[in-house]
Chains A and B, each alone.
Chain A
Amino acid sequence: MSIIFERPRSLTDKPFHYCPGCTHGLVHRLVAEVIDELDIQANTIGVEPVGCAVSAHDYFDIDMQEAAHGRAPAVATGIKRVWPDKVVFTYQGDGDLASIGMAEIVHAAARGERITTIFINNAIFGMTGGQMAPTSLLGQVTTTSPHGRDAGSAGYPIRVSELLATLQGAAYVARVSVHDVKNIARAKRSIKKAFTTQIEDKGFSIVEVLSTCPINWGMTPADSLKWLQDNMIPYYPLGELKVDGEGVINR
């Protein structure tokens, strides 16, 4: 009898603590599968954020450092400058990366820092209980935008990938989604390409993963996937914005 499906070597056997229907576990698995396929487990150092994935070291079976809120790209920079031949990645949410950590991600990209960022965009602060994020959509109800996000007061959601793609140091920028099987497969391909970009020393790489937060969105897991597809993708179009440092306009 042959094994046809098993846990990636780069994941521990600890059950995920994530809420029912949350896509963090799925993205963790994709990252772990890529680490396995590239055979870099012994070579990879991860940086976890503040947010729901703050204890990602419980799940990724690799050396890891926990960063202060938003500072993961700076921490990863410190690690990478010490170990230029290792693979260093950050795993960050939208509150962490696009709000408090905007300076660090922009400058890591501008420097062409040879790190990879997995950016979970679920349009909300998850861990703190569903507050508005910089990526929350206009009209989106959160615990700090109870009447829906109002552009007049809270401004507009930030398209992080488009912003980072303008920077010369960013070599690979892609936005993917995990709302269905086809897109999950694409997401994995992008994550692999991002890690490969780093291994080939081409510059900074980031994959923005549109994700769900059923608990804080107040929806069932199935409705959440549909909401992502119907509401997030029109504002956050999917595709590779930049490959090998060249801007790719058509998506």
Chain B
Amino acid sequence: MAQKVLIKGNEAIGEAAIMAGCRHFFGYPITPQNEVAEYISKRMPEAGGCFLQAESELAAINMVYGAAGAGARVMTSSSSPGISLMQEGISYIAASELPCLIVNVMRGGPGLGGIQPSQADYFQATKGGGHGDYRLVVLAPSTIQEMIDLIVEGFDIADQYRNPVMILADGMLGQMMEPVVLEPKKRIERQLPAKDWATTGCDGSRPRNVINSLFMIPEQLEQRNLILIDKYKRIEQNEVQYQSIDIEGSDVVLVAYGTMARIARTVAKKAKELGISVGILRPITLWPFPYDAVAAIGDMPNVKAVFSIEMSAGQMVEDIKLGINGKKPVYFYGRTGGMIPSPNEILDYICDVLEVR
């Protein structure tokens, strides 16, 4: 086992990308993820790769599109308003089936919002922030070590399915430091297809390659969409990841991801002292969402209630309600705008609901 190092989340994103074989990065400054580009601007040339500070997020995501289309392992990183600007490009990337990694270190919104941690981009990330019927694979780490693992795996998932993958982190994960092992803990062996579709210059030894998403004939465009939908179904079948902690026999289940999943663990400990047993379901993939794992909670006789706790005004709670399908009461507790709920206020809310004092 390699030695542990103390590293900031944003810097770990950069190191993990290089570890994953990413050699092209295009980005634009925005707080609270600036250390990603700063770190990569130093490390990428050492690794023989290309770092380029784009003139805007629009340019950055379109550089990613060009580089991904040219066959490179490529990424960008931004935070909420910057990710909003990238949505057109992300839609094109999904439509053209180009693999790439997009990191969103979320901050409070809407509008210019603030620079403190938030999870208010859940809808944008998981429901399609750009136009058209498309999906991103959305991975939500809750520790810096897991961020490293998911970045490496994220690139592989992107290549395997020819689909953009988003790492949905938040300002807390980006800015905090943790001891980590700078190597991916687990790497699922995946059969990564050759990028024989990439624009590399055509010498006639293969049909020429065109990266495009314009289909003027509706029958053709529908066919394109059906191919994408079929791929999304395969991803839903194969790629769901979640962690369940002490759910069997628990009185209530908290569903939380990212930073909120860490707070959920403290809530569970404190609740135990009050005699309430709290299980935690932590979605790791936000799309595909672990609906089946949530549905199973609906069938657990001991569970009295399910809580979604989020740094938002209530976004993931909608997916939880879909999964529970009316079989249990689903409650929501969240703070938004960069406020982070404390374990005590969450516990108070749970006690209020359960009428425990």
Given contacts A71-B89, A74-B59, A82-B24, contact A66 B214 (CB under 8 A): yes
Q: In A64-117, which residues have CB < 8 Å from any B CB?
A: 64-68, 71, 74-83, 86, 103-104, 106-107
Q: In A136-167, which residues have CB < 8 Å from any B CB?
A: none
Is A62 engaged at the interface, CB distance under 8 Å to the other chain?
A: yes
Contact of A78 among B55, B74, B201, B212 (CB under 8 A): B74
Bound-state CA distance A103–B56 (Å) is 8
Is A44 engaged at the interface, CB distance under 8 Å to the other chain?
A: yes
Is A55 engaged at the interface, CB distance under 8 Å to the other chain?
A: yes
| Interface segment, one of B65-73, B140-148, B232-240 | B65-73
Instruction: Pick the most buried of B50, B65, B199: most chain A CB atoms within 10 A of its CB.
Output: B199
Q: Is the pair A68, B62 in contact by a Cβ cutoff of 8 Å?
A: yes
Q: Is the pair B209, A63 in contact by a Cβ cutoff of 8 Å?
A: yes
Chain B's closest residue to A61 (CB) is B208
Is B63 engaged at the interface, CB distance under 8 Å to the other chain?
A: yes
Bound-state CA distance A63–B59 (Å) is 21
Chain B's closest residue to A70 (CB) is B58
Interface size class on chain A is 20 to 34
Is A31 engaged at the interface, CB distance under 8 Å to the other chain?
A: no
Q: Is the pair B202, A42 in contact by a Cβ cutoff of 8 Å?
A: yes
Q: Is the pair B201, A44 in contact by a Cβ cutoff of 8 Å?
A: yes
Q: How many residues of B contact A (CB 8 A)?
A: 39
Bound-state CA distance A41–B64 (Å) is 24
Is B302 engaged at the interface, CB distance under 8 Å to the other chain?
A: no
Chain B's closest residue to A65 (CB) is B211
Is B204 engaged at the interface, CB distance under 8 Å to the other chain?
A: yes
Give me the 3 closest cross-chain CB pairs, A-B, nearest first.
A78-B66, A42-B203, A78-B67
Given A68-B92, A82-B50, 10 new contacts (CB under 8 A): A42-B204, A45-B200, A57-B212, A63-B209, A64-B209, A65-B211, A68-B65, A74-B59, A77-B59, A82-B70
Interface pairs (25), CB distance under 8 Å: A54-B214, A55-B214, A57-B210, A63-B200, A63-B210, A64-B208, A65-B69, A68-B89, A71-B58, A71-B65, A71-B89, A74-B58, A76-B66, A77-B66, A78-B26, A78-B69, A78-B70, A79-B69, A79-B199, A81-B24, A83-B200, A103-B55, A104-B55, A104-B58, A107-B54
